[in-house]
Chain A
Amino acid sequence: MPILNEISALVKRIPTSMQEILNERVIQIRAEIQQGVKKPYKQVLNLSSGDPQALSLKPLTFVRQVLAGCLYPTLLHGDTLPADVRQRVQKLLGECAGEGTWSHLETHGIRKLQHSISDFISRRDGVASDPDNIYITNGSTAAFMTLLKLFVPNGSSLQTGVLTPEPSYNGFKFALAAQGALVVPYYLREEQGWAVQLDELHRAVLTAKGYCNLMALYVINPGNPTGHVQTKDSIKDVIRFAAEERLIIMADEVYQSCMIGEGMEFCSYKRALMEMGAPYSNMVELASINSISKGLMGECGLRGGYVELVNFDPSMKQNIFKLFSAMPCASLMGQIALHVMVDPPRPGQPSYPLYTNEIQSNKRAIINNVRRTLGVLNSLPAITWQPVMGGMFAFPRVSFSQAAINYSQERGQEPDVMYCLRLLEDEGLCFLPGYELGMTEGIYHIRITLAAQEEIMKEALQRLKNFHLRFLKEFPTLERPGGNTNPDPLTATASSVMGHADPNTPLGWRH
């Protein structure tokens, strides 16, 4: 019998990622097409994950030029690269240990990068940020995984519990499972525009009493998959709640640059916390996480991110430093992109116009995709949705007839999973079933990535439309799922924080 039959119980408890299953199937279908297997489509469109460049959104030229220059400094001679790129490269090369090449740097990132990040945070929030509190990681997930190690398991005999929104980013729950923490769900309610509700947080705390040692609260703002953006007041309420309940706040703010409605402004947890003043501002422990993967950089493949730790006990510093040091250090390419993200070209520099243009153009693509997507969803029966205020996803709700539910149950699948799998097989289009992200039973959603090239989005929406109408013909009874007493999501009120690119077609509102 193989030794490995007894393996880590924690690993066994990590759920299978639906995302991975779908991705593998996508790869397989692509291979089939290449081998000449007949399909009703020429290529597969995978809109299941927030991966902008995979969906042909362009990387920022400045970022890529700087990377190329750092990798191959010979390019600095001559004018292949613009002057400000060359300057940036020289600055970066000068800061690292090796001459002329970037190399292994101090584990939690080079000093200068920490300083640049803390400057960025200070500019963003209007409050000081200490570079010593910034740890650079291989993307946001690595930051979460390392942070969780600090208090999972904890000093008590009970398992560590973490308040986690449902629905929310699946990867965080996988990280919790991998480390052996308990998910204490608090439900975001569609009928309240996916806003965090204090009474729901309090209810969730009560469910945890006696079962686990509740130590942290995970929030994700702007929301994934919900597209909700928290107001400053709401954030302050959450902070007060965390203070009362003695919870570390883990704020996932990777979509901070993705504000969709015009006039929408991102308020970081750090800023809200500092505005609240003492005792909160020097008491509540906050870990704020950002990444180069999301937002308008979209550099998922380079793997770069950081976490800022605020108000952690000074006695913990050595342990935190040690832990981050013992972890493999962040990739240099990721560090370089991170450097550009927090210190982009400035007005007057040669690359500034192009950089700004590209950022705007990516942003425009996402906003157009939101409008386009919601337009198509509007035309489809049995689909309802909430406004998309920020982030990279739409999260419409699909109502299934009893026949469809029966059909999926016969296959041992949740209806939304069945829907997405069929959509993939029949139309070569991949969305993520809401099931993967955690939902109330009997209510079904699909997550649609909006960070894609516009042509791809158009094609995807056409396929969705074709499929959905065919699906409704197959399962025509449009009854609501049994016992559904939820108020109609259309009555949600989020208009106060909604901005519109075009006043004639309000984003996120169904007529």
Chain B
Amino acid sequence: MSICVLRAQMLPCKTVLSWTRGTGNRCDIARLRKCGVCYVPNLSPVSFPSRTLSNLATAHSGLARREMAENEALSRRQKVLTIDTMNANIKKVEYAVRGPIVQRAVQIEKELKEGVKKPFNEVIKANIGDAHAMGQRPVTFFRQVLALCSYPELLDDDKFPEDTKYRAQRILKACGGSSIGAYTASQGIECVRQDVSRYIERRDGGVPCDPDNIYLTTGASDGIVTMLKLLTAGEGRTRTGVMIPIPQYPLYSAAIAELGAVQLNYYLDEDKCWGLDISELQRSLQAASKHCNPRVLCIINPGNPTGQVQSRERIEDVIRFAAKERLFLMADEVYQDNVYAEGCKFYSFKKVLYEMGPEYFNTVELASFHSTSKCYMGECGMRGGYMEVINMDSEVKAQLTKLVSVRLCPPVPGQALMALVTNSPQPGEPSHAQFLKERTATLGDLAQKAKLTEEILNTVPGIRCNPVQGAMYSFPQITLPERAIREAKEKGQAPDMFYCMKLLEETGICLVPGSGFGQKEGTYHFRMTILPPADKLKILLSKVKEFHQRFTKCYS
């Protein structure tokens, strides 16, 4: 099936007529449309007993009787949307990060407010990577510029440093009507995309980056879901298979389920600090090729929930594997600034790909994702993000552009924030010193907490925690007594869900059970963020420690 060249090339109007389809046929816009939206076959208008406004309004007795019968029938009948009629894919969607534990936590908070007695005073939500909710301070410079963009009257206020004003003016100038309240291009504001591309070039030591390859997104999730949607094709044995790490961030499994793609698990090696093994990739691919068409390989680096940081060599191996197997690489690199362990360094897939030479750099298809929610920014609520697509076929890119246009533009404050993250204050600018101080403090603090978490958890018999090399979570393995496992199973719960639910009820601590991320069978984990302030984190960890000991004793 030919692919329409659907993106308007920027030609003067006189040549608009010559937009062509893949077949080379001339294609007018009209026909383009008709081949687009699927309409029901247009039957000729059918005459129908007239049911106009007037005769419905005049209800005589016969009609009234009929209406009564109809009403009775109506009230007995089922809803249109039921478990049987709904999209079956949605039933398979699970999203542990906001699953039953979190819902219960919200309920408990409400109970506490209503004065219900609990063995604790507050619920500590260590389930989600929301930095600001955990007390991390936002970067002043970002907030100042965004406040100026929101309410430009403040540009006259001398409390704001000059460089924040300059940035705000630059962003506003790029907005329609000089307002962040206007729509932008679906792909994002052009000058922001330029900022992003220069940032990537600096980050990767000069590897070229084309702003046309940058798509601004509503957080990284939007980009990931969009790419998966674009890549999901075929039916039955030709259906797209997507390789994801286990444990994984459940956005992936949720999106794959919703799209009806095939989830292909490759297991990270917990004994090797959640390392990625190429032979495991090979195994996963081989097992899958009988029942689907594996075409996408997702990598999360630094890892969520596992916190490992890939070495340069391993990334090279992965790229070679993807090239050999002709897989589209999706690199989730939202934690790229969150690297703590000594000897670990973040390498972007793009940079490694480039350095492997033209043979790879000009062929391997890659989408890399970043966001304003993580790292030192922690601005989850702004929904800023971007993806860079590399080596994407130009016609396919046109399809991608079309797909992103359906959801209109990403939130403009998020786009503005992306511009600030990628074009941060420079030496000599008034905000530079404070910006640097805040960034360093936040990242240093996280590094300390990563270490603290690992150390304390490893003092607990029955909890084993890999080093938190990067990202924002620890994902320790917990040993559960046989009796607890049995009891959980009787209740129809995953054992670690049973454990986390008990932890929540007894201590008010909200963690996510490992089963929500996937884990090797027979092993149990939980994910905990390292985000709470150090003193709170210590209390949290000691409570977890006490609970674990109590739990183990109770079920032994």
Contact = CB atoms under 8 A, between A and B. Distances in A.
B33 interface: yes
Given A328-B221, A435-B30, A101 B138 contact: yes
A202 interface: yes
Contacts of A142: 407
A183 B42 CA distance: 11
Name the residue in B90, B131, B234 with the highest tally of chain A Cβ atoms < 10 Å from its Cβ.
B90
Interface in B1-48: 1, 3-4, 6-8, 10, 12-14, 16-18, 26-30, 32-33, 36-43, 45-46, 48
Contacts of B93: 322-323, 326
Nearest to B144: A72
Interface string A154-172: 1110010100000000010
A283 B74 contact: yes
A130 interface: no
Interface string B382-406: 1100000001110010011111011
Given A54-B183, A278-B75, A141 B408 contact: yes
27 contacts: A4-B396, A8-B231, A15-B6, A16-B32, A53-B181, A55-B177, A67-B147, A67-B151, A103-B133, A104-B380, A138-B407, A156-B85, A174-B37, A183-B39, A184-B39, A185-B42, A197-B52, A207-B41, A215-B85, A237-B56, A248-B81, A301-B184, A312-B81, A313-B81, A331-B382, A411-B28, A425-B13
A4 B87 contact: no
Contacts of A177: 36-38
Contacts of A425: 12-13
A322 B10 CA distance: 42
Contacts of A98: 130, 132-135
Contacts of A8: 229-233
Contacts of A21: 8
Given A101-B138, A145-B407, A155 B84 contact: yes
Name the residue in B43, B85, B130, B186 with the highest tally of chain A Cβ atoms < 10 Å from its Cβ.
B85
B106 A106 contact: yes
B82 to A, nearest CB: 5
Contact of A11 (B95, B138, B403, B410): B403
Interface in A39-84: 46, 49, 51-57, 59, 61, 64-65, 67-69, 71-72, 74-75, 80
A141 B182 contact: no
Contacts of B40: 161, 182-185, 207-208, 211-212
Contacts of A128: none
A154 B85 CA distance: 5
A387 interface: no
Contacts of A53: 176-177, 179, 181-182
B221 to A, nearest CB: 4
Interface stretch (B270-278, B411-419, B493-501): B411-419
B454 interface: no
Interface of B: 1, 3-4, 6-8, 10, 12-14, 16-18, 26-30, 32-33, 36-43, 45-46, 48, 50-53, 56-57, 70-72, 74-75, 77-91, 93-95, 98, 106, 125, 128, 130-135, 137-138, 143-144, 146-148, 150-151, 153-154, 157, 159, 175-177, 179-186, 190, 218-219, 221-222, 225, 229-234, 251, 254-255, 258, 295, 326-328, 365, 373, 378, 380-383, 391-393, 396, 399-403, 405-414
B254 A326 contact: yes
Contacts of B33: 15-16, 435
Name the residue in B38, B52, B131, B157 with the highest tally of chain A Cβ atoms < 10 Å from its Cβ.
B38
A154 B86 contact: yes
A487 interface: no
B427 to A, nearest CB: 24
Name the residue in B48, B221, B229, B406 with the highest tally of chain A Cβ atoms < 10 Å from its Cβ.
B406
Nearest to B45: A203
A233 to B, nearest CB: 6
Contact of A151 (B28, B81, B106, B407): B81
Nearest to A240: B56
Contacts of A14: 36, 402-403, 406
B413 A302 contact: yes
Contacts of A173: 37
A174 to B, nearest CB: 5
A33 interface: no
Interface residues of A, number: 145
A178 interface: yes
A235 B546 CA distance: 61
A427 interface: no
Contacts of B182: 51, 53-54, 300-301
Given A71-B150, A313-B81, A234 B393 contact: no
A325 B95 contact: yes
A298 B412 CA distance: 14
B26 to A, nearest CB: 6
Nearest to A73: B143
Contact of A16 (B7, B218, B380): B7
Given A182-B40, A203-B45, A302-B413, A149 B185 contact: no
A51 B204 CA distance: 38
B409 A234 contact: no
Contact of A7 (B53, B131, B230): B230
Interface stretch (A24-32, A344-352, A359-367, A498-506): A24-32
Nearest to A248: B80
B403 A319 contact: no
B41 A211 contact: yes
Interface string A97-136: 1110111111100000000000000000000000000000
Nearest to B152: A64
Contacts, number: 412
Contact of B75 (A175, A185, A279): A279
Contacts of A206: 43, 46, 48
A413 B11 CA distance: 15
A3 B328 contact: yes
A20 B81 CA distance: 34
Contacts of A69: 147
A182 B86 contact: no
A414 B28 contact: yes
Nearest to A166: B39
A301 B384 CA distance: 13
B403 A64 contact: no
Given A243-B74, A283-B74, A311-B79, A4 B328 contact: yes
Nearest to B378: A103
Contacts of B184: 301
A159 B10 CA distance: 36
Interface stretch (A266-274, A416-424, A460-468, A470-478): A416-424
Contacts of A107: 98
Given A75-B147, A198-B52, A203-B45, A233 B57 contact: yes
A422 B45 contact: no
Given A5-B393, A7-B231, A104 B80 contact: no
Contact of B183 (A237, A283, A300): A300
A376 to B, nearest CB: 23
Given A184-B39, A207-B43, A328-B222, 8 more contacts: A6-B234, A55-B177, A68-B151, A103-B378, A104-B133, A150-B81, A319-B90, A412-B26
B10 A17 contact: no
Contacts of B402: 11, 14, 16-17, 20
B98 to A, nearest CB: 4
Contacts of A325: 95, 98
A280 interface: yes
A69 B144 CA distance: 10
Contacts of B78: 313
A332 interface: yes
B473 to A, nearest CB: 15
A331 B86 contact: no
Query: 5 tightest A-B contacts by CB?
Result: A15-B36, A54-B176, A332-B381, A412-B28, A97-B133
A257 B434 CA distance: 44
